[in-house]
Copies of this chain bind each other. A is one copy, B any other.
Amino acid sequence: MKKIKAGVIGATGYAGFELVRLLLTHPQVEISAVSSVSYEGKRLCEIYPQLTGICDLKLESDEYVTSEEADCDVVFASLPAGHSEPIARRCFDSGKLFIDMGADFRLKDEKDYIEWYKGEYGDKELHEEAVYSIPELHRERLKKARIIANPGCYVTSVCLGLYPVIAAGALDSSSIVIDSKSGATGAGRGLALNTHFPECNEAFSPYKTACHRHTPEIEQVLSEACGKALKVTFVPHLLPANRGIVSTIYCSLKEGYAFSEIRGLYERAYGEEAFVKLLPEGATANIKNVKYSNLCHISLHEDRRTGRLIIVSALDNMVKGAAGQAIQNMNIAMELPEGEGLSYVPPAF
């Protein structure tokens, strides 16, 4: 069988490299071209020595990746906000599937994009074409998708955690408080004082308290799920660990709903899923049990004293929160088995 040819734009950033790494062992994909603004002309293994003797890909320009010569069937881009439109346009016009791992196509409402990203939508047709997909929630949308907006890492963690109970209309939608914690790779490869080892190790703190850009994206997904606009309190924290997100989500059930009914909602929603697992009662989701894999673990807890429902959701921010989910979206859109290339079992340590 002929392999799918993939291109990766922004291959030396953390999410871009993680994608390359996973695609290298995807049985039905070959990487045709990779690009990097910072390292154009170098080989990828010079930047990431783990590829020594394994991969000889040379870093090109993003124009090359979308060119006829590179001949990609699918192009992924992992870029800072504001850079994806022209690439998406070239892919769209030349019939390539485009999967954006950045934020440029995530928000449906341009006003949100203007407010949170300080940018505008230049090429509006593309945004109409774009399909936002957390596969477990939106996979039916992917059938004829040509532009896929791959969700934010926190958003995936939070929305997988809340979807079943929100979609069932069981929540007091004004009650949602989300306390998320992410490993330091979430901040990317760019150097900064708060991710300098001696400042991040043995440290812990919230950041962008109640003003992180993933907030409107969370609200977009959840509002759509419950059919009415809702707002959430969302506070991310920086963990002294490389990978993983845990979201601890606090909320109140609507009058008339009992905690005992909630588990069933999750079993029905995720019982057949390969990557989203509801943990047995008494267990608690933990980064260590999902890291390096495309899994999302969810555990449900009741605060009997206050009546609150507490949902804990854990995933690997770089896999299910970024590169793995992008592959999962590609697999579906390209009609491959959904889990192809994503079978890695999380290590115990």
Contacts and interface: CB of A to CB of B under 8 A. Distances in A.
Contact of A184 (B201, B210, B243, B295): B201
Interface residues of A, number: 89
A1 interface: no
A201 B11 CA distance: 22
B314 A202 contact: no
Q: How many copies does the complex hold?
A: 4
A204 B287 contact: yes
A51 interface: yes
Given A210-B301, A239-B239, A181 B204 contact: yes
A201 B277 CA distance: 23
A7 interface: no
A18 B202 contact: no
Contact of A235 (B21, B248, B297): B248
Interface stretch (A60-68, A74-82, A155-163, A188-196): A188-196
A290 B51 CA distance: 9
A177 interface: yes
Given A250-B177, A308-B177, A242 B202 contact: yes
A52 interface: yes
A301 B209 contact: yes
A303 B234 CA distance: 9
A204 B239 contact: yes
A286 B200 CA distance: 10
A246 B349 contact: no
Nearest to A209: B301
A349 B235 contact: no
A231 to B, nearest CB: 5
B277 A52 contact: yes
Contact of A50 (B197, B206, B305, B348): B348
B201 A197 contact: yes
Interface stretch (A83-91, A128-136, A142-150, A338-346): A338-346
Contacts of A291: 202
Given A181-B237, A205-B312, A287-B205, A196 B197 contact: yes
A217 interface: no
Interface of A: 14, 17-18, 21, 24-25, 48-55, 174, 177, 179, 181, 183-185, 189, 191-193, 195-207, 209-210, 215, 231-233, 235, 237, 239-244, 246, 248, 250, 277, 279-280, 283-293, 295, 297, 301-306, 308, 310, 312, 314, 318, 343-349
Closest 4 interchain pairs by CB? Answer: A203-B288, A205-B286, A210-B303, A198-B349
15 contacts: A52-B277, A52-B297, A198-B242, A201-B349, A204-B239, A205-B288, A205-B312, A206-B246, A209-B312, A210-B303, A210-B305, A231-B306, A235-B248, A235-B250, A318-B347
